[in-house]
Structure 1
Amino acid sequence: MLSPSPTPASPAEGVRADALEAPAVHANFYTRLCATLARTCLGLGVLGLVLLVVAVLTQVFGRYVLNDTPTWAESIAMLLVLYVTMFGTAVGVRDAGHIGLESLLVLLPDAVRTKIELLIHVLVGSFGAIMAYNCALLALSVADYKLPTLGISEGWRYLPPVIAGVLIVLFSIEHLIAVLKGTEVEPAWH
């Protein structure tokens, strides 16, 4: 026999329950979004590494077998290194793969540790925002110039730190939410 679902004693209690559930739903959506972005960055990083290997092999083959190195191979390899590095940096921030001195934090009382963790994530997010903003300005300032061997805008060199900076901000916000909730951010590669 099915039992009736419990009803709130008053309409105000029902509204309060809905208000408590709504932030949790948004936080779960945000966490899933960040995890998806991180996995996408990992996938693009792997693809970038494969293309980087192809570009370097093309350089070696051209230089030693054909005695004529393709002019685009070195430029594309340098560009790919930037993209792979910046995507990896952003994922490292989300998955806490960066260097940290957590051994000192565990010695502190919980209240102090929480405040320091919040400060750390605010500082990392601020760094990401400053990096994104300044690299965007730089990309716009050189957008009219062309990379001679590729024929594309010089701004493509400064796009990876812009993307990584925005992702670092998003991932730092995710960490701030997790610290305030008393949870951990689960790495994207799990």
Structure 2
Amino acid sequence: MNFYTKFCAMLSKISLILAVIGLLAVVLCVQWQVIGRYVLNDTPTWAEALALLLVLFVTAFGLAVGVRDAGHIGLESLVVLLPEKWQHRIEILIHGLVGLFGAMMVHGGWLWMMAKWDEKKPMMPVPDGIDYLPLVIAGVLIVLFSIEHVIALLRGQEVEPAWN
């Protein structure tokens, strides 16, 4: 468990760093688009398309980090009202369902990514299927992080946020 926890913490930190870098890149893309449009009088069409693609990656990485560090919306207010024995079971069920949702994200994202991979984006020289890659990445991370939470709950431990 210790190796797995360290591995998941490392993945979470990397995801958070990539999300921040991606967010900065979005800001730079939008700034370049504004400069191109209003200063150079030549709108770079790729800047908007790249910013939109980066937003997908930033959202995916942020979502995965939120699942690992329990920053997502939960039903804890209702779970607290249950007897302690049931609280533990419901928490495991919740993390299992979140993991199942992550697996469904991987499956659906992979199908769409493969279906669109041979098409090219009109404003950038990348496959159109790249729009679905963040869904696959986030899904894999969510499954890994949900498994970590379930194992921790079964051992009577808590998952510590990666930034601590």
TM bucket (normalised to shorter chain) is over 0.9
Normalized against structure 1, the TM-score is what?
Answer: 0.85
How far 1:68 sits from its partner (Å)? 1.3
Counting aligned pairs with the same residue, the percent is 62
Of 60, 64, 82, which aligns to 1:90?
A: 64
How far 1:109 sits from its partner (Å)? 1.4
How far 1:101 sits from its partner (Å)? 2.5
Residue 59 (1) aligns with residue 33 (2): yes
Q: Which has the higher contact order (CA 8 A, sep 6+)?
A: 2
How far 1:129 sits from its partner (Å)? 0.1
Residue 178 (1) aligns with residue 143 (2): no
How far 1:37 sits from its partner (Å)? 0.2
Equivalent-residue separation in structure 2 for 1:118 and 1:164 (angstroms): 20
Moved over 4 A (4+): none
Larger radius of gyration: 1
Q: How does 1:10-29 map to 2 (within 5 A)?
A: 27-29=1-3
Greater Cα shift, 33-42 or 65-74? 65-74
Equivalenced residues, count: 164
- Opposite residue 39 of structure 2, the aligned amino acid is V
Equivalent-residue separation in structure 2 for 1:28 and 1:92 (angstroms): 21
Equivalent-residue separation in structure 2 for 1:148 and 1:103 (angstroms): 47
The residue that corresponds to 2:94 in the other structure is 120
- Opposite residue 30 of structure 2, the aligned amino acid is V
Stretches of structure 2 lacking an aligned partner (at least 5 in a row): none
- Opposite residue 78 of structure 2, the aligned amino acid is L
Partner SS for 1:158? helix
How far 1:165 sits from its partner (Å)? 0.2
Residue 149 (1) aligns with residue 123 (2): yes
Residue 139 (1) aligns with residue 113 (2): yes
How far 1:107 sits from its partner (Å)? 2.2
Normalized against structure 2, the TM-score is what?
Answer: 0.98
Of 66, 80, 87, which aligns to 1:106?
A: 80
Equivalent-residue separation in structure 2 for 1:101 and 1:135 (angstroms): 27
Stretches of structure 1 lacking an aligned partner (at least 5 in a row): 1-26
